[in-house]
Every structure is written in structure tokens, then in C-alpha cells.
Amino acid sequence: MDILTDTSLPSPCWLLNEHLLIENLKTISYIKQQSGAKILLALKGYALWKSFPTLIPYLDGCCASGLHEAKLAHETFAKEVHTYAPAFKEEELEEIASISHHLVFNSPAQFKRFAKQAKSVNPFLSLGIRVNPEYSEAPKEIYNPCGLNSRLGTTISHFDTHILDDCEGLHFHALCEQGADALEKVLHVFEEKFGTYIPKMKWINFGGGHHITRQGYDIEKLIHLIKQFKTKYNVEVYLEPGEAIGWETGTLITTVLDIVHNGMEIAILDSSAEAHMPDTIIMPYRADVLGSGKAGEKPYTYRLAGNTCLAGDIMGDYSFDQPLQVGDKLTFLDQMHYTMVKASTFNGVKLPSIAIERVNGTIDVIREFGHEDFKNRLS
């Protein structure tokens, strides 16, 4: 399906393509059917909740990282809610417990402190603990949950067997944009370290970071690993991808506001790398722009930059077949995951509108933002 730039849309605007989303969901659904795993949406990566009616038939629920995401899952998804937080707050615990199906603690201390209270609010709650297998091939330290001195999950040397009576599941999250080969290696280390506890569990959660919907991902290997694990231990297996759900399902449409010159041509857009696509700065990664090449590849090279006063608010250098003109629309590709969930109103830049292109081709603009959204956050 071609991605076109619709010039009648507000700008900037995130445009989700429902057809492409369903294609990803079909892949997810196939893995569920073939492997018997349950698959959750990680709200951290994708939380465009007006699209949830499309997702709900294909997924088993959501994984949330605390009260606000748990409430979003409960109110808008209404299937399983799995809540984990690096640390729960006393005053939020009961509400979280009352709307969650799984509650995953990060440390034995939090498990012991809150387990009874949580169960008294919700006797059906299944409790688990996040462990750190201390093995990861994550591409960058900021995205490595198993890196040096990581706070995420309990290492085997700090595991406390006293929690085992009330603990029904183990959770690990060690991958980031990775294939089934990386999962195989993590599983190996996880089994080596925590293997004696696995048969006592009802479920094991393999976390997120499975790049399932990326072209070339070895889906059959993933299915094999899950089936093998389920047979060996007789446990329920969960995956909770975020990125893979929204992967390549939509764009961010922006407008060229001005072109300035300082050693090169610089196009200032009505968007912001810092505020709308922060991963381009912190990952760092380069978002593709429709019809563009790398710097120097096509005749006209520009630096694309944001409309804030942050010097480093730069999307990158791109080249085009034609010179850019003020008013031109530029479409950044693959902008559905880890963008709107992270977006800010930094420097007063307008948040992009949100639109959905339906399967039948109609486009619904479902949300627009204005000055109030900026003002209301600040006091």
C-alpha cells in the first residue's frame, strides 16, 4: 500500500494507516495461534487508544508500567491488564491491584511489602517478579535493561526464595529491536539461572523488544522457542511487544516553514525532533523521509530541523530530487511507536494532530491540540 502525503491534513499530523496496523496484527495473531503464547500490547511504546478497537480482537491485553497506563488499559482495552513498575507507590497500589490481572514486582522487598495488600484488594490477582537474566544484546546502554548496575529486575544473587509461596510468575525484559536468535540466547541464560523456579510458576513473561513485524524476523523460530518452552515447563508464556505493534504503520506529516543558509541549506519544519521524535536525538536514529535520500545522494541536500530554540533540534541531513519550497509537506516514515507516547510541548511547539486512515481510505482527524494543552501542563 502506497503511503501518500495528504495535503488537506492539519500540520504537523501523525497519520496512522489502519490497513498496515492490521497487517502487523495478523502476524501477531499467527504467532499466538501457532505457539500458544499470549501477546500483550506494551503501552509504553504505543498508546494511540482511539485505535484500540482495531487491536483488541488480535491481542490478549496490555502491559502497563504503573497507575496511569493501567487505568488506560482498563478503560480503553478491557482485556488482561499486566502491571509492572520499577517501584510501586503505597498510595497507588490498591487502585492498581483492583484493575490488574497480573502484578509484577521489581524487587523481593516490594513483593514482600505489597503482596498481601494487593491480594486482599483483588484475590484473583496473579503476582510475579521481574528478574534480570544479566544477559542482553541491546544495541545501546540506555536501552539495555540488563546493563551494568541496572535497576530493572532482580538478579539471581538478590533473589529471595521467601516470596516463592505467593509468586506465580517470572518476568524478564532483556531485548530491544531484536530477533529470535537473541531471545534464544536470553532464554538459555534465564533457564540456567532461574530454571529451578520455573516449574513452580503458572506463567513466564518474555517481555518486549521482539522485533516480530520487521521484515526478516524469524517468526518460525520464535514459535518453536515458545512451544518448546511451554512443553518443557507446562507454563503460560506471555510476550509484550510495543514497537512491533506500531512498526511501520504510519507517518508524521510536517510542513517546511523556511529555508535558511549557513554553510548548507537548512529547512525549518513546523515539527520538532526534540518534542515529537525524541528518539532521533537520544537513540540516535534517523527517520526516513518519503522521497528522500541520504545527504548528497540526490541533487539537493538539506538539514531538516525543528521549530524550537534548541540548537540540537535536528532530524538529520537528507537529499531530494527537487529543491524544497516553503509550504512543502515532508513525511517522516515509521512514526507510530515511541513518538506520541514521548511527545512534549517543549518550547510551546504545537503537538501534532492525530489522524487515522481507515481501511476504506477515509481519513479521520481524531485529535487536534492547541495552546490549552501547552498551558495546562505548566500550572
Ligand X SMILES: *Cc1c(COP(=O)(O)O)cnc(C)c1O
Return the C-alpha cell found at 271. Answer: 515539527
Q: How far is the CB of 176 from ligand X (least distance, A)?
A: 5
Between β-strands 293-294 and 300-305, what pairing exists: parallel, antiparallel or unpaired?
unpaired
Taking the complex as a whole, the smallest distance from the CB of residue 82 to ligand X amounts, in Å, to 9
Q: Of residues 37, 176, 219, 253, which one binds ligand X by CB under 6 A? A: 176
The answer to the question of residue 82 lying near ligand X (CB under 6 A) is no
Under rule CB under 6 A, which residues in 360-379 are in contact with ligand X? none
Min dist CB 44 to ligand X, Å, is: 5
CA distances from 233 to 57, 102, 200, 229, 230 (A): 28, 20, 9, 6, 5
Q: Which stretch binds ligand X (CB under 6 A): 39-47, 218-226, 249-257, 354-362?
A: 39-47
> How far is residue 303's CA from residue 319's CA, in Å, rounded to a whole number?
9
- If binding means CB under 6 A, how many residues of this protein chain bind ligand X? 15
84 sits near ligand X (criterion: CB under 6 A): yes
C-alpha cell at 222: 520464535
The β-bridge partners of 196 are: none
8 A C-beta contact, residue 103 and residue 86: no
Query: How far is residue 379 from each of residues 231, 261, 372, 373, 374, measured CA to CA in Å?
Result: 54, 38, 11, 11, 10
CA dist 183 and 102 (Å) reads 23
Residues 316, 178: Cα–Cα separation, whole Å: 24
Applying the rule CB under 6 A, the residues between 118 and 157 that interact with ligand X are: none
Q: Does 242 bind ligand X (CB under 6 A)?
A: yes
- Interface with ligand X (CB under 6 A), residue from 18, 69, 80, 243: 243
Letters for 221-240 (x = contact with ligand X by CB under 6 A, - = none) are -------------------x
Shortest distance (Å) from residue 142 CB to ligand X:
12
DSSP SS3 for 307: coil
Q: Which stretch binds ligand X (CB under 6 A): 38-46, 105-113, 194-202, 227-235?
A: 38-46
Binding residue for ligand X, selected from 38, 44, 276, 303, defined by CB under 6 A: 44
Among 15, 16, 45, 314, binds ligand X (CB under 6 A): 45
Q: How many other C-beta atoms are found inside a 10 Å radius of the C-beta of residue 156?
A: 15
Query: Which are the contacts of 342, defined by CB distance < 8 A and separation ≥ 6?
Result: 278, 279
Min separation Cβ 233 and ligand X, Å: 21
Of the candidate residues 241, 278, 306, 352, the single one contacting ligand X (CB under 6 A): 241
Which residues of this protein are in contact with ligand X, per CB under 6 A? 42, 44-45, 63, 84, 173, 176, 207-209, 240-244
